Structure 1
Amino acid sequence: NMAFQSKDKLYFVLDFCAGGELFFHLGKLGKFPEPRARFYAAEILTALNYVHSLDIVYRDLKPENVLLTAQGHIRLTDFGLSKEGISNSSSGAHSFCGTPEYLAPEILSRQGHGRAVDWWSLGALLYEMLTGLPPFYCQDRDKLFHKIQSSDLLYPAS
Structure 2
Amino acid sequence: METVRQATDLLALDRQVCFALSVASRSVIGLYRPLLQPMGLTHPQYLVMLALWENEPLSVKELGELLQLDPGTLSPLLKRLQALGYIDRGRNSKDERALAVTLTPAGRKLRAEAEKIPPAIVARLGMDIEELENLHRSLMRVISAAHHADDPKPQDETA
TM-score normalised by L of structure 2: 0.25
TM-score normalised by L of structure 1: 0.25
Q: Which has the larger radius of gyration?
A: 2
Where is the helix percentage greater, Structure 1 or Structure 2? Answer: 2
Where is the strand percentage greater, Structure 1 or Structure 2? Answer: 1
Higher relative contact order at CA 8 Å, sep ≥6: structure 1 or structure 2?
A: 1
